[in-house]
Structure 1
Amino acid sequence: MHSESGSQVNPGSERRIFQILFGFTFRNRVGMYLAQNCQIPNIYKKLEEFKKAAEARKRPTDDRS
């Protein structure tokens, strides 16, 4: 008998692939819904504002006269 073990797929791996694809699709759908229907802050802009504020505090002020 000749067995072709390479062509068989483990049933557990099929389920895992489905879980990964379902999770990815579900998270994308939820993210799209939230982005369109809720006021989500732009994290990139908030981070840039924080960096600028941190740099402004870091710079020494020269108030000596």
Structure 2
Amino acid sequence: MNTLPTQGESRAQVYPGSERRIFQILLVFTFGILVRMYLAQNYQIPNIYKKLEEFKKAPEARKKPPDDRS
């Protein structure tokens, strides 16, 4: 099958269902953004980037203190 459309063919005829698939991807992407916007406005979701920076900056704070058992 030729993958490029010929003179009288459109892309929809060459790739059947591709328009529906693109619409489905855009719909899911948009829905995901709307859900994230709702959650960010109504719940206290921690900023992952800030948590990562805190994690990188303080490796000594995560170390176990030495055992003082003698």
TM-score by length of 1: 0.71
TM-score, normalised with respect to structure 2: 0.66
Name the CA distance, whole Å, in 2 between partners of 1:37 and 1:24.
20
Which of 4, 7, 11 is the matching residue for 2:8?
Answer: 4
Distance 1:8 1:44, change over 3 A: closer
If each structure's helix is expressed as a fraction of its own residues, which one has the higher value? 1
Higher relative contact order at CA 8 Å, sep ≥6: structure 1 or structure 2? Answer: 2
Describe how 1:14-25 pairs up with structure 2 within 5 A.
Answer: 14-25=19-30
Deviation beyond 4 Å, 4+ runs, structure 1 = none
User: CA-to-partner distance for each residue in 1:6-46, whole Å, 9 max, x for gaps?
Assistant: x2514410110111110111000000000000110011110
Q: How many residues align?
A: 53
Could you say what the CA RMSD is over the residues aligned between the two structures, in angstroms? Answer: 1.6
Percentage of pairs with the same residue: 70
Q: Point out where structure 1 has 5 or more consecutive residues left out of the alignment.
A: 58-65
Aligned-partner Cα distance in 1 for 2:28–2:11: 25
Listed as ranges, the gaps of 5+ residues in structure 2 are 1-6, 62-70
